[in-house]
Chain A
Amino acid sequence: MNIQAEEQARCVILRPQGSRSDSANAASVKSVLLDRLETQQQTVILDLNEIEFMDSSGLGVIVSTLKRISGTKRLILCGLQPAVTRLFSVTRIDKVFEIATRRDEAITLAKIPQP
């Protein structure tokens, strides 16, 4: 899975390109994602808009991303599709992350000091 990266409004926006994030590709996604975290920007926005299905392995990749940057950078998720939202809800991981509905909302949220 490729991960598109761009910088905007002092954020780096990472967008995984592919419809599934599961055990079959979790290791490669994690490797690419962690590489992309090497940025000067203090906020990382992970735009999951293309991900139609995610399992617990895919979720684990995002949790490991959060742990990697914790204390040094801020992570905001956006673009969660219904199946991904459901996964976050079932596992109660939604309480762990800052989540915006759309990318522009995530950028706006990034301008507000972290609670």
Chain B
Amino acid sequence: MTQDACETWLCMALQSRLEGVRVAAIAVRELCKSYGLSDNLQHDLELCLVESLTNIVKHSYKGETTHVMELSLRFCKDVIVCTLTDFGESNFSLEEELQGCDTLDPDTPPENGLGLLIPRSITSSLEYTAGPDRNTLVFTIPVGEKGDIMPTE
């Protein structure tokens, strides 16, 4: 799908604070409501967004609150594409972070480390690209499954 086929809903620059993650989540939730997305889709998108942004704050920026993270949300025909960009450390392996997530033991549930399991479980694709000056996480959420149909104009 080409960029032209997508409608950009939202672009935001956020300070690398957990409170900022919350603000972004609430903004996206309200945006979803205004577009008439189903509650299920709103929940999934908000959850993926919060987990991914929190991951940036904690890992790329090590909790430092003076940095910037960028959020772009686009609707492309039958998927929502969320692009998150940060300018912090890139020594992060998505595969390593996800390692072991498939073997969750109910007898010994983890208190943390579940963050990226959530976007991976919900999204149709999850890609992380580490570059020399920026890191980008892109995930897509299909629209149309579970009755989450976009409204007509």
Question: Which residues does A use to contact B, with CB under 8 Å?
Answer: 20, 22-24, 53, 55-57, 59-60, 63-64, 66-67, 82-83, 86-87, 90-93, 95-96
Binding site for A on B (CB under 8 A): 18-19, 21-22, 25, 39-40, 43-44, 46-47, 50-51, 54, 57-58, 104, 106, 109-112, 114-115, 117-118, 121-122
Chain B: which residue is nearest A86 at the CB level? B43
Cross-chain contact A82 with B110 (CB below 8 angstroms): no
Tell me if A22 and B22 are in contact (CB < 8 A).
yes
How far apart are the CA atoms of A67 and B109 in the complex, in Å? 9
Asked if B111 and A95 make an inter-chain contact with CB atoms under 8 angstroms apart, the answer reads: no
Give 6 A-B pairs besides A53-B43, A91-B114, A93-B109 with Cβ atoms closer than 8 angstroms. A22-B21, A23-B21, A23-B57, A53-B50, A91-B121, A95-B106
**What is the predominant secondary structure among interface residues of chain A facing chain B?**
helix
Closest A residue to B50 by CB, please name it.
A55
| Set of chain A residues within 8 Å of B25, measured between Cβ atoms | 22, 53
- Closest residue on chain B to residue A24 by CB atoms: B18
What's the nearest-Cβ distance from chain B to residue A69, in Å? 14
Residues of B within 8 A of A92 (CB): 104, 106
- Determine which of B39, B114, B121 lies in contact with A59 in the assembled complex, contact meaning CB atoms within 8 Å: B114
Q: Find out whether the CB atom of A83 lies under 8 angstroms from the CB atom of B110.
A: no
